[in-house]
Structure 1
Amino acid sequence: MENTQEEYNVSSLVVLCAPNNLASLWDSINAIENAQCHYQDASGKIIVTLESQNIDEEIKLLKRIENLSGVITAQMIYAYHSKELQDLQENIQKQDSVPSVLKDDAQTADKIVYGGDAQSLLEQALEKP
């Protein structure tokens, strides 16, 4: 089977700036083609994703953001090639999202035990002072 999907890179950045530059940098970054801001906090951090056709384009976008007035630093955190993303998506789709214990008709709810952090938090909340 031939893969006709277009290949691309997706990466995420953390951009650090002075808090008073957040609004202007948010707008400046979003104005760059293939760059999109997703989150900011009051300390001056902006989370950005970049889409590019190849690594060279990706680095050029990173450098362009680094050179914006008000940027203290821009660090690439994750970078994925479309093939890696496709492989991850296929693995997720192969996984069974319903645990086997919930598919067992002979299993009763009172016999199901959850061993994660939520259980201990629930027990703490239910304890009488």
Structure 2
Amino acid sequence: MNVSSIVVQTSPKFVEEIVEKLKEADFCDYHFHDEKGRIIVTIEGAGVEEEIQKLVKIQEMEHVIAADMSFAYSEDELNAERDKLEAVGDDLPEWLNDENAKKRDIVYNGDLKDRF
């Protein structure tokens, strides 16, 4: 499951009209807007393709100037990152599990292995 937030831009004179259309739409969830014509909605999809289809529906609405994904969450990506952490196993530094560790004491030495 993917969830993305969308920033929709319209002219201030059309903001109430677009907000009502978005509230009535069955493909997004309205959250809030401002007087400048910025509107925040979220969309969900089984994958990126479904999300893109929903984004295009918003972009094609009359009086919408722009609609762009702002933040995205992908369950598959989260699970892949969890798998990476589990694969590390006991190779994690002990201080990562130390409740008394202070962030100011962390020394970053850099890691270039993934740079190229």
TM (normalized to structure 2)? 0.64
- Structure 2 vs 1, CA of residues 55 and 43 (structure 1 numbering), >3 Å: closer, same or farther? same
The residue that corresponds to 1:24 in the other structure is 17
Q: 1:78 corresponds to which letter in structure 2? A: F
Q: Gaps spanning 5+ residues in structure 1: where?
A: 1-7, 89-98, 101-129
User: Pairwise CA RMSD of aligned residues?
Assistant: 2.6
Q: 2:48 corresponds to which letter in structure 1? A: I
The residue that corresponds to 1:94 in the other structure is none
What is the distance in 1 between the residues matched to 2:23 and 2:80?
29
Identity between Structure 1 and Structure 2 (%): 34
What is the distance in 2 between the residues matched to 1:48 and 1:20?
19
Moved >3 Å (runs of 4+): 83-88
The residue that corresponds to 1:64 in the other structure is 57
Q: 1:36-94 CA deviation, whole Å, 9 max, x = no partner?
A: 11110011000110011111110010000000011000011111112446789xxxxxx
What is the distance in 2 between the residues matched to 1:50 and 1:63?
11
What is the distance in 1 between the residues matched to 2:13 and 2:47?
33
Map 1:1-129; keep pairs closer than 5 Å. Answer: 8-84=1-77
Q: Which moved more, 1:18-27 or 1:59-68?
A: 18-27
Q: 2:67 corresponds to which letter in structure 1? A: A
Q: 1:35 corresponds to which letter in structure 2? A: C
Mark the structure with the bigger radius of gyration: 1
